[in-house]
Amino acid sequence: MVTTRRGASRLGCLFTLLILAVVIYFGGNIGQAYWRYYQFVDDMRQHVRFAAHTTDDQILKQLQASADSLGLPETAKRIAIRRTEKAISVEADYYEHIELPLHVREFHFHPHAEGPL
């Protein structure tokens, strides 16, 4: 006995795979931006942890090099360092442009780290 199969289920599967591929592609772009942000915050926390042994200029140069190696925008290199007798605070502010279907969206990031000296 031979039965014929309809092609609708195959077409539905292809459409689902196409949607899944689009979500993974554009989600990966967003995920990479957030991954770079978390790496930059981790670098800031590391420098804050050892700030008692380094100068503000050294911290600034090292964080700017880190922003450059992570591929962050130039505005991420504008890092503010505030040091008091007991604490230190490091922060930056930047936007990343991420291409989404039919438009480009700006994501705002504000990495920040603070700690005692």
Give 42-51 pLDDT, tens digit per residue.
999 999 999 9
For residue 37, give the nearest of 116, 110, 100 by alpha carbon: 110
CA 51 to chain centre: 24
Collapse the DSSP code of 94 into the 3-class scheme (helix H, G, I; strand E, B; otherwise coil) and give the result.
strand
Angle at 43 between CA 90 and CA 49, to 5 degrees: 65
Task: Give me the residue label for tokens 């795979």.
Answer: 17
| pLDDT level of residue 10 (50, 70, 90 thresholds) | low
In this prediction, residue 115 carries a pLDDT of: 95
Specify the amino acid at residue 50. Answer: F
Instruction: Please give the residue that has the higher pLDDT: either 114 or 102.
Output: 114
Count each helix (H run) and each strand (E run) in the chain, helices first. 2, 5
Give 64-98 pLDDT, tens digit per residue.
999 999 999 999 999 999 999 999 999 999 999 98
| Ranges of each domain in the chain | 8-116
